[in-house]
Structure 1
Amino acid sequence: MNPSPSLLLKRLLHTSLVLQIFVGIVAGILLAVLAPQWAINTAFLGELFVGALKAIAPILVFVLVAASIANQKKNTQTNMRPIVILYLVGTFAAALTSVIASFMFPSMLELQTSQQQLMPPQNIVEVLHTVLFRLIDNPVNALLTGNYIGILVWALGLGLTLRHGTDASKQVFWDVAHGLSQMVRFVIRFAPLGVFGLVAVSVAKTGFGVLAGYAHLLGVLLGVMLFIALVVNPLLVYIKIRRNPYPLVLTCLRESGVTAFFTRSSAANIPVNMALCERLKLHEDTYSVSIPLGATVNMGGAAITITVLTLAAVHTLGIPVDMPTALLLSIMAAVSACGASGVAGGSLLLIPLACSLFGIDNDTAMQVVAVGMIIGVIQDSAETALNSSTDVVFTAAACMAAERQQS
């Protein structure tokens, strides 16, 4: 006897969230193929889900970081230094790997005209200038605009000040932080519906044919990202924890990377990553700071995008590249990526900056940005999945390494 639809639905609702999201992905693709117009009408589901995550993430980060710092006991080890080192090394390794892959499998572009009216930064000083002023942003404006660098600075300052406050004041912040965490769990339960809407609209509007012309470029981008996710990151984790890194890496890719792939925003995925860190039983004082920090500076995927697309333009124009210049590109891409915004397409505007290293004019560089936007339905999703899942991977690795040293 076959089970009734209501029974199947009840069983599905009691399965893991990852399986529910997978069902949402398959259902979204089927709806887009069979009824494209209906699929487009489901856009509000994805917009509501991503909007809810983006709405709660800034205040969650602010309160949780402040509460963690305020309630932190003296001489508590937060492991932030090794995490930051992993972030920086991982981002540079991603850029360097991209250079090697681009030389091994050079991509060619069709560069003609561009109608983009975007304003990219002109030099590395401008990027650093922007980052510096984001540090001292008005705290209310930082919360309203999702400026996580500014949010972190003000939350750290408030938390350090509250360490000298009364226990009652500290407890209020702690209770609010946990209340917000419960709200996040509620929002995340709607991820299957949100992902269903995002997938349905994306496939219905763009299809898969538009990507065929850029299959080689996409292959290089995705190949490098997979290599970083499945080879380089596990190697860095193994160096830290001295045991098989793949259970941790695959868990983070499955539970963080999947949602990040469809939300296409590291900032929106912060609540998802914090919930995952809690399930992994990591130190709250550590991940409450490292996860929002990673959404801002841990940008290996962005470094890959900047490097591969820049060198594709270089190969197309026949510009010779020597190894010192390639190394300089890796450094520039890594530094620039740390200044990329944690929103969809945030890394593309940094491509003209990297192109300027080879004397490529801004009009031509903006054509490369346009190519990035065409393939962005896949490229940006994979980039965000790599960036966001790596935040948890490196945070967990540092916490596990600390536990190994203490035992």
Structure 2
Amino acid sequence: MSGCALPAKKTNLKDDPMRFASITLIALVAGAVLGAYFPSTGPVLALGGTLFVGALKALVLPIIFCSVVASMARLGAQGKIGGLLSVSFMYFLGTMIAAVSIGLVLVNLVAPGSGGELAALAGDAPNITGPSSPLAFLEAQAKKLVQDPIQAWSRNNILAILVFALAFGLALGKSGKGDGVASGFEVASDALGRLVTLVLYATPVGVFCLAAKQVAQTGWEPILKLGSYVLVVAGGLALHGLIVLPLVIWLVTKRSPLSFFRAALKPLTVAFATASSAATLPVTMEAAEEELDVPPTVSRVVLPLGATVNMDGTALYEAVAALFIANLYGIHLDFGAQLIVAVTACLAAIGAAGIPSAGLVTMALVLTAVGLPLEGIGMILAVDRFLDMMRTSVNVLGDLGGTVVVNRFAPVGSEDAVGEGGDA
């Protein structure tokens, strides 16, 4: 049976990630300029952006299910799944703690919002109701895990589909009779990968439309007014994404940061445009397998897990936002309170599940945990989309780095790659 990298054949679009990123960047700038000077075009072009993101999202659940079931069936039959999952979760937890720590250090040093001079702008608060406690939040997430698979699919419940695919694939592998079924899922995954390639040709157009729509809606004024807050979040994300993650990858795998970033160009571009790590997942899988030479049996388990629970950028953002809101209202958070912020920021980030701006909603958990007013969310709403694009890029970069780290510590080997034969 042939291999099932995403997709199997090379195309001009995939041959030159730098060219792809350059064209998309030009489209991004052009769309932003058009939206700024001709805001009436925003609603018209919004349809193009909606269609682009919708096309990617339509492929997410099928790819997660098919790829995870196939990979788990192979790994389960070989008895290698335990090491892979344990290394994955250790990496996810370690990088998320590092991200939150960076955010808290920077926000304490710069203290954006101190003096309360911007507090008056917090009046336009969205109608967001937070969970009554971290326990209530965990209960809500637990209910999502045990949803009926059909119901979960209809509600786009990525977490429930992922858990079901993990369990079903493992059971299939352990049955000793699942080779034919696993091969069928591999073929389906390959076909879906070809659809992803077709969608990617529309990336510059989709990015142009998304940028025009966003700038037409908000303009540049909110970013200027909240400059110190935006700079702290952006600086923290840059430190984590450009220094911490590449350093971890270099120390573990000896892969140069430049080669890693070149491999990550395409998923980073799509992540920045769509602000959704879930929508970027098919592109991230492609980069891991074809640019970083990660076996599909590793990438197709680690990446769906990462897109669901590994949210370094979101955790950093929520920690910074909580302290920024505290500063706005003149509320001092001591070390103990900031520790609670760190823990709940990680929990809330995990609950965000790769959906655009979901971190804005789950942030209510962080504020509630330390007694901060939910009205403060209205203060940062205007710049959330811009920061969402940045933090999603860091989320995706962390997921992609996870594949090479996990492959180093829990190698499966190219002979075990999905689609290369072998008994399940």
Q: Could you tell which deviates more after superposition, 320-329 or 98-107?
A: 320-329
Equivalent of 2:386 in 378, 389, 392: 378
Q: How many equivalent pairs are there?
A: 391
Change (3 A) 1:207 1:320: closer
> What is the aligned counterpart of 1:142 among 136, 145, 152?
152
- 2-side partners of 1:93 and 1:302: how far apart? 12
Question: In structure 1, what is the equivalent of residue 104 of structure 2?
Answer: 99
Counterpart residue identity of residue 32, structure 1: G
1:65 aligns with 68
- Structure-2 separation of matches of 1:12 and 1:265: 21
| Structure 1 position 67, deviation (Å) | 1.7
Q: How much has 1:284 moved relative to structure 2?
A: 0.7
Residue matched to 1:394: 402
CA contact (8 A) 1:124 1:336 kept: no
Superposed, 1:3-402 pairs within 5 Å as: 16-72=19-75, 73-76=77-80, 79-108=84-113, 109-111=118-120, 112-163=122-173, 164=175, 165-249=177-261, 251-252=263-264, 254-279=265-290, 280-360=292-372, 364-365=373-374, 367-401=375-409
Q: Which consecutive residues of structure 1, in runs of 5 or more, have no partner in the other structure?
A: 1-10
Checking the alignment, whether the CA contact within 8 Å between 2:159 and 2:353 is kept in structure 1 is no
Q: Aligned partner of 1:116: which letter?
A: P
Deviation at 1:215, TM superposition (A): 0.8
* 1:243 shift after superposition: 4.9
Q: Report deviation, 1:380.
A: 1.1
Specify whether residues 30 and 355 from structure 1 end up closer, same or farther in structure 2 by C-alpha distance, changes over 3 A only.
Answer: closer
Deviation at 1:216, TM superposition (A): 0.9
In the TM superposition, what whole-angstrom CA distance separates every residue of 1:106-158 from its partner, at most 9, and x where no partner exists? 01141553442222222111221122111111111222222222111211222
Match of 2:8 in 1: none
Give the partner amino acid of 2:157: N
How far residue 382 of structure 1 moved from its aligned partner, in angstroms, is 0.8
Question: Secondary structure at the residue paired with 1:36?
Answer: coil
1:47 Cα deviation from its structure 2 partner: 0.7
Amino acid in structure 2 at the alignment position of 1:110:
A
* Contact 1:345 1:373 (C-alpha < 8 Å) held by counterparts: no
CA contact (8 A) 2:253 2:404 kept: no
- Identify if the C-alpha distance between structure 1 residues 34 and 370 changes in structure 2 by more than 3 Å, giving closer, same or farther: closer
2:417 is aligned to: none
Question: Structure 1 CA distance, aligned partners of 2:48 and 2:79?
Answer: 46
Opposite residue 63 of structure 1, the aligned amino acid is C
Instruction: Tell me which amino acid in the other structure corresponds to 2:111.
Output: P
Q: Deviations over 1:266-292 (max 9, x none)?
A: 211111111111222211111111111
Are 2:63 and 2:189, in contact at CA under 8 Å, matched by a contact in 1?
yes
List gaps (5 residues or longer) in structure 2: 1-11, 415-424
Letter of the 1:52 partner, please give it: A
Query: Alignment identity in percent?
Result: 27
Q: Larger relative contact order (C-alpha < 8 A, sep ≥ 6)?
A: 2
The CA distance in 2 between the partners of 1:379 and 1:303, in whole Å, is 12
Map of 2:7 onto structure 1:
none
CA RMSD of aligned residues (A): 2.6
Post-superposition offset of 1:166:
4.9
Give the CA deviation at 1:323. Answer: 2.4
Q: 1:70 to 1:20 in 2, by over 3 A?
A: same
CA distance in 2 between counterparts of 1:200 and 1:13 reads 26
